[in-house]
Structure 1
Amino acid sequence: MHEYDDAVLASFLRNQRQLFPEKVAETPEEAEAFLEDCMAVVVDSVRAVWEYFDEEGVDMEGASEEEILSAGEVFDVGDGRYLIVEG
C-alpha cells in the first residue's frame, strides 16, 4: 500500500486537471484512494523521474528536463519530490 503525505495530496488536488479533463477527487481522502488505485509513485528527484520513465519504457530520446517535468502525469510536489500518476 502506498502512503501519500499532505503535501503530495495537496499538489494532486491543486493540479489534477493537468492530466484529467475533470476533477477526479475533491478531498484528500478521495485523492489518496484515487492515487492508490492508480498506483501513483512519489519520487525524490528529477533523476528519479527520468529513471521511472526509462523503466516504464517511455522513449525520452532528445527530451529536455523541462519537457519531462511538464508531462501531464508528473506533478511537482514543491519540495523536490514529484508525483507520477498514470492516468
Structure 2
Amino acid sequence: MANFSKECIETFLNKQLQLFDEKVAETPQEAEEFLEDNLAVVLDSIEDVRDYLDESGMDAAQLSKDEILQASEVFALPGGKYLVVLA
C-alpha cells in the first residue's frame, strides 16, 4: 500500500477538480484511499513524469514542460515533486 505524504494528499484534495468534474474525496482519508486505489504515483522530476506518461500510453515524449504541467493528470507538489493520477 502506498504511503502518500500530507502535502500530496492536501494538494490532491485542493486541486482534484482539475481532473474530475466533481469531487471524488472530501477528507484526507478519502483522498489517500482514492490515490491508492488508482495507483497514483509521486515522481521526482518533469522528465520522470514525461517517461511515466509515455509508458502509460500517452504520447508525451514531445510535450514541453509547460504542456506536461497543464495535463489534468499532473499535480505539481509544493516540495518540487509531481503527483500523477491516471484515473
Which TM class, normalised by the smaller chain length? over 0.9
- Number of residue pairs matched? 87
- Confirm whether residue 24 of structure 1 aligns to residue 24 of structure 2: yes
Structure-to-structure mapping, 1:7-86, within 5 angstroms: 7-86=7-86
Give, in whole Å, the separation in 2 of the partners of 1:42 and 1:4: 8
Specify every segment of 5 or more residues in structure 1 that has no aligned partner in the other structure, as ranges. none
Task: Give the Å deviation of 1:61.
Answer: 4.8
Identity of matched residues, %: 51
Task: Give the Å deviation of 1:60.
Answer: 2.2
TM-score normalised to structure 2 length: 0.93
The residue type paired with residue 63 of structure 1 is L
Runs of 4+ with deviation above 6 angstroms: none
TM-score normalised to structure 1 length: 0.93
3-state SS, counterpart of residue 11 of structure 1: helix
